[in-house]
Amino acid sequence: MASADLFAPLTLASGATLPNRIAKAAMEENLAGPGQLPDARLISLYRRWSKGGTGLLITGNVMVDGRALTGPGGVVLEETTDLAPFRDWAKAAQSGGAKVWMQINHPGRQVQVDQGGNGWSASDVQLDLGPHSKLFVKPKAMNEAEIAETIARFAATARQADLAGFDGVQIHAAHGYLVSQFLSPLANHRTDSWGGSIENRARLLVEIVKAVRAKVRPDFAVAVKLNSADFQRGGFDQADARAVIGMLNELGVDLVELSGGSYESPAMQGEAADGRTLAREAYFLEFAVDLKGLAKMPLMVTGGIRRREVAEQALSEGVAVVGIATAIALDPDLAHHWRKAATAAPVAPKLKSKNKTLVAMASMAFVGAQLRRMATGKEPAVNSSPLLAMIAGQMRRGGQIKRYRRYLAARG
C-alpha cells in the first residue's frame, strides 16, 4: 500500500474526521496535579505531541471515580469536577491539528493496597501475580446499585469531556481493568445477569456505551478499547472478542482499538502468560485481520508498532488506524519522520530479568520517565535505564500516595 494512505483522513460514523491514520495510543501519564486534576505538565506534554503530526491523541486513562485509581497520580473527572483545566488540556492537544479523545476508565480490582480506595470488581477474585499479589486490594463483588452507579459515572465523565472540548472518549474495556474483569470468565464468577454467558459478561460494556452515547453530542466520537484476548488459559478469548464486536456493531461505536493482556499477562508489552509468542511488532494484527470482516466500525491495532512499513502493512490488511505508544514516547515527531523517511523506528531498552512482572513494571516506568521529561519541556532520553526509572518512580510514588490519601479524606 502506498505510504500516502497512512496520512489520508478517516471519517467516522458520528461524522467526526481524523486527519490521518496514526494515533497516539493511551499511556498512563501519572501526572495529575493537586485535586487529581490536569496541570501545566499534562498541558505541555500534549501540546508537544500535537506538534508531532499524529492525527489522533488518546489520553492516558482518566478515572470516572475518584475513590478508585489505577495509580495515585491519576486524573479524575466526575460530574462536579471543575472543567477549566480540562479545557486547557483539550486545547493544547488540538493546537497542532490533532483530534483528542479522553480514555475513561475504572480500575476495578487493579488498585494497589498502599494508595487506598475501593476495589470493586465483578467477583471477589484476587489478582494472581505470585508474590506481588498482596500489593493489590482484595476485591469486592459489586452489587446492583454499585453497577448502576458505575455506568452512570462513565456517562457523566464522557459528558464532562464533551463539555470541556475533547473530540471523543475511548471506553477502556481491556488490560484487566473493571470492564475487562466483567468480560473475563477468570475474574467474573457471577451467576446473575452480569455473569456466565458472554452476553451477560459483556452487559456492563454494552450498558456503558449506551449511557455514554445518550449523554454526548451526535458528532462526539465514542470508541472502545477491547482485548483481542486475555492471553491466559480459560480467559476472555478470540471467540468472546468476536461476540463483543458483534454487539458493539449495533451501538454506534465509532472505532474499536484491539489490544490484549492484563496485569497478570502483560501481552500489551509483548509478554503472554499462556505460552503464545507475540510478534516483535503489531502484536495484535492477526486478531484484527480475523475480526475485520465482522466489525462494522473501523478497527485500530496497537502493540509494538514502531516502523512505517509495519504500520502500512496493518493498513493493507484492513486496519483503519495504527496506534503507537512506546515509539511515540521516544519520538514525539514520529509521524513527521514517517512522512519523510521510512527508517524512523525508535526502540526502548528492556530490563533483563526472568521476572515478567518486574520487566513489565520497569518498561512502564521507562515510558513514564520519557513522558515526564516532555512534560517539563525536555526531549526523551532514549538511552536511559529502565531500572533507574522504576526506582525513581517508586520514590515519587510515595509523595503521590500521601497527596491522594489527603484527597480521599477530603471527599469524606
pLDDT in tens, 307-351: 898 899 889 989 999 999 999 999 999 999 998 876 777 888 888
Percent of the chain's residues with pLDDT above 90: 74
State the sign of the Cα–Cα–Cα–Cα dihedral 106, 110, 116, 121.
positive
Q: What is the pLDDT of residues 115-159, one digit of tens each?
A: 999 999 999 999 887 787 888 999 999 999 999 999 999 999 999
Per-residue cell: 206: 454494552
**Mean pLDDT, residues 283-302:** 86
Phi-psi region of 143 (alpha: psi -120 to 50; beta: other; left: phi over 0): beta
Residue 248, domain member (yes or no): yes
CA 236 – CA 184 distance, rounded (Å): 5
Q: What is the pLDDT of residues 71-88, one digit of tens each?
A: 999 999 999 999 999 999
Q: How many CA atoms lie within 13 A of 273 on its CB side?
A: 22
pLDDT of residue 212: 98
Q: Which DSSP state fits 195? A: S
The helix (H) or strand (E) run that includes residue 162 is: helix 144-163
For 191, the domain range is 3-348
Residue 366, domain member (yes or no): no
Residue 383, domain member (yes or no): no
258 phi and psi angles, rounded to 5 deg = -100, 125
Q: What global pTM score does this model have?
A: 0.93
pLDDT of 4 strictly over 80: no
**Mean pLDDT, residues 360-377:** 92
CA 408 – CA 114 distance, rounded (Å): 13
For the chain, the domain total comes to 1
pLDDT level of residue 9 (50, 70, 90 thresholds): very high
pLDDT of 402 strictly over 60: yes
Q: What is the pLDDT of residues 97-115, one digit of tens each?
A: 999 999 999 999 999 999 9
CA 53 – CA 317 distance, rounded (Å): 23
Q: What is the pLDDT of residues 175-215, one digit of tens each?
A: 899 999 999 999 999 999 999 999 999 999 999 999 999 99
Q: What is the pLDDT of residues 213-271, one digit of tens each?
A: 999 999 999 999 998 755 556 667 888 989 999 999 999 999 999 986 555 454 444 44
pLDDT of 174 strictly over 50: yes
pLDDT of 305 strictly over 60: yes
Which is nearest to 329 in space by CA: 378, 265, 280? Answer: 378
Mean pLDDT of the chain: 90
Residue 387, domain member (yes or no): no
Cβ atoms of 363 and 269 within 8 Å: the answer is: yes
Residue 240, domain member (yes or no): yes
Residue 222, domain member (yes or no): yes
pLDDT of residue 352: 85
Residue 365, domain member (yes or no): no
Residue 408, domain member (yes or no): no
pLDDT of residue 412: 75
CATH of the domain at 213: 3.20.20.70
